[in-house]
Amino acid sequence: MSGHSKWANIKHKKAKTDAIKGRMFTKLAREIIVAARAGGGDPSGNFRLKIAIENAKAANMPNDNINRAIQKGAGDGEGSNYEELRYEGYGPGGVAIMVDLVTDSRNRTASEMRHIFSKNGGNMGETGSVGWMFTEKGQLSVPKESLKINEDELMLLALEAGADDMEDQDESYEIFTDPSAMQEVRQILLDGGIPIENAAVNLIPNNRVEVSELEQAKKVIKLIDSLEGHDDVQKVYTNFDLADSLAEEDL
């Protein structure tokens, strides 16, 4: 099983806070729009849309918002001009950063991304400059509070279902799969009574870069927060991790 990641634990808590604040709803709606546009508005025949809807419901997004997003994506109205982009760059200390976006203005977004990177001690790179440091994986989040079996039993069940690995985060277990196997693994776990809080195909760092200097860690986190706070940004990936010697309350 993969090792503990202190930054992943903090990031997981931050994501829940974002959902409570409502900022996550915009990102979830855009994912639904793009998924519906790409594969149609029927979730039974569009796995990406099905997952996007389930993730939105898990974040308590109102059904009216979900339905409007599906209609926008499947129809010819607002949302039909969205496109997906990915930017790569470096943060303070040379940590690698990948940013996935959904935007209706490529030029505006590119300019704003460059500004955020440079303002926070980073710089944007060319396509492929840091992408090789990550591997695309299906990721399933299993909340510990709802789990009725122990860690070893979950690990065995996940591996038998076709998962590659599992990681312990403070409030959840993260199960990793090949992207092509995520749908099947997810269904087997659900059939086995395992709750799935979130499912997505994410970029997982091949190796983590640990930062032990407090001020540098603060700068990296500020850059990540600034990127995640941008309306067009869907996800931010990094190989950054925090040394255990750094206290969460100091960050």
pLDDT beyond 70 at 79: no
Residue 247 placed within a domain: no
Does residue 154 share a domain with residue 54?
Answer: no
CATH of the domain at 221: 3.30.70.980
4-18, 148-162, 225-239: range with lowest mean pLDDT? 4-18
Residue 48, SS3 per DSSP:
helix
pTM: predicted TM-score of the whole model, two decimal places: 0.87
The mean pLDDT of 19-27, rounded to a whole number, is 72
Does residue 235 share a domain with residue 118?
Answer: yes
Does residue 161 share a domain with residue 69?
Answer: no
Task: Count how many domains the chain has.
Answer: 3
pLDDT in the model for residue 3: 58
CA 141 to chain centre: 11
The mean pLDDT of 54-77, rounded to a whole number, is 87
- pLDDT tens digits along 151-201: 999 999 999 999 999 998 888 899 999 999 999 999 999 999 999 988 999
pLDDT in the model for residue 244: 82
Residue count of the chain = 251
Range of the domain at 95: 83-132+208-242
pLDDT in the model for residue 25: 87
CATH of the domain at 26: 1.10.10.200
Predicted confidence band of residue 247 (pLDDT cuts 50, 70, 90): confident
Residue 50 placed within a domain: yes
Residue 11 placed within a domain: yes
pLDDT beyond 60 at 223: yes
pLDDT beyond 90 at 251: no
Which H or E run contains 136?
strand 134-143
The mean pLDDT of 80-98, rounded to a whole number, is 91
- Within 13 Å of residue 217, how many CA atoms lie on the same side as its CB? 20
Q: Do the strands 198-205 and 134-143 form a parallel or antiparallel pair, or are they unpaired?
A: antiparallel
pLDDT beyond 70 at 19: no
Residue 212 placed within a domain: yes
Does residue 217 share a domain with residue 160?
Answer: no
pLDDT in the model for residue 77: 55
- pLDDT tens digits along 48-61: 999 999 999 988 89
Residue 16 placed within a domain: yes
Residue 31 placed within a domain: yes
pLDDT in the model for residue 17: 61
Q: Which residues contact 121 (CB under 8 A, 6 or more apart)?
A: 91, 92, 219, 223
pLDDT in the model for residue 82: 84
The mean pLDDT of the chain is: 89
- pLDDT tens digits along 103-147: 989 999 999 999 999 999 999 999 999 999 999 999 999 999 989
Does residue 159 share a domain with residue 117?
Answer: no
